[in-house]
Structure 1
């Protein structure tokens, strides 16, 4: 890998604000019929979102030129959900190096020439009223995978199909994938710089929040986990050492983005396997992340090991967001089969999270927030309909 280009910190006159989420309504405030807390605005650091219904990062595997640049599909995908009323939209996992892509069809921000390809999408989301965020990451040992875009879904790519040698904290393969090469300390530092530079590029493209991907068994998640990190240097062993790379990345990202830009981190709060990273570890990590300037933890689970039985049911990951929020004292989002408006509302009214992420349901229903507002009894004039869509507004009593 070559040396990453260094960027200087963008100056700002706005002073750093508290990392704790704030809003016009406390989590304990009774809900009015006019504005359920699900639709209350929320401000984190210097960035506000119009409501607490967020779109999580979901890979689309649709970079048809395999150059990391988004396409017309990405514009349609993200801007349609902005028009549909989502408050904050987190663009899918965006690789900080070419080798860090999950598949050749992933988004990337590994060079300055890619910045301009995102601006029209960011501008489109903003014009539609949504707050644009982006997740940056490195796939580690789960990189070099096939996808529908190249006709090899769900398999490790052979070199003849454009595959490449993967890297990880330790030379431990993911299931049937090829064994990765363990990173040297110098290479770890280089990847940290690549995260820093990708965050700067995201800011230049107009994104208003950065999420660092440390979940689902990708590189930073692999470092955090004792089942995938068996190093005996300063990046392995104790929980503090296994978190070192993530914390150093957080510090570098915080040092290059504006003081008023929030930084999120997505984690897997449990492997669902005994002896792996678990909920207690997640709380401890969240406290450290907060001390280093992280504003919100996006709490998911799983993905570290293949063929694990996960007790999937509606809201099955909410309890982890609840623990992290209330034991670490940091804002969280909840995700995981949240599909119904009253289910989402209950999570917020019970103080289990500060926002909810609607994932698969949003793939089926890009206008989920508008429909949810009507379902919860909000007057039509209080729902944030684009004027072009008002004639099709949901009416009381219409079937969900």
Structure 2
């Protein structure tokens, strides 16, 4: 006789597609650790930090993130956790479910500054910086964007000139996360040999990082300008394996992958807030979740949220198999950030006037995602990346 099939588990509103089945026990343990850290250290304070426009105790937070292995976590050696890319993605999702600013701190540290050193640095540079960055003792930043050159970094004006065996850097970088609290800046500059990367200790003479104020997005995040006024560096400050624009772009691809996951964390937070509100808020004698229009909104939000998480999982598996293409990362960033924004905006309509209150996470996530939509490649730039991949025709110039 055929065996009696096991009964199916009940439908889970928090995991309607059963995506947890794709995770290993180790994956779940990583997710649980990061989620618990965010619940303990970020969620009780984040509304106040956001309202005040600051991220106090950032150095302590960095050390705590280092202690749980979240900094440079998919890198190997030098004190890094050596986690899978799926596990790194899960961490990004949980961090951004708390706040985009916290995930940005981790992304810039690990996927931009640390990755640049790990991938393009000398052995001496790796030993000097990576263990202290993995522990959170040293915070890093990544200087590519300039005041007049955002989507077109090839036009950068920051330049480095040789003076004997030294390099002298002059220029400005803009919208740099972690800039004013960093101990080392990875700065990209034009040289006679093309674009090269440099490791700039932030206590170098001529270096300053004034913090950018008056932001209405990513308020719980340190954002700075970098000013390099004839900063003199020794020859060994040069990243030896990075030549041309491909170096910083490869770093950006690594960070964009984290955004594919992270944006779904912000979306999940807003969806959960809307679902809870719809179940408890009463109008016309019953919960608003009992009305057809509200249920339609929730159903559409759940569709896009969990499709986005499934896409992130797929890209993560490809990354771990070393089969992930930059165009596929563009696919993920374009879709997931755009859909996350729509989920946040729809959640705001369900919460009504309460949707704009910091008592709920919705408006905070929505305004943060306006920055996430723009940084590390605007939606338009990723559309053009995909357009070129699809047609074989370059529409950038």
> What TM-score do the two structures reach when normalised by structure 1?
0.23
- Identify, as 1 or 2, the structure richer in helix: 2
Task: Report the TM-score when normalising by structure 2.
Answer: 0.23
Q: Which has the larger radius of gyration?
A: 2
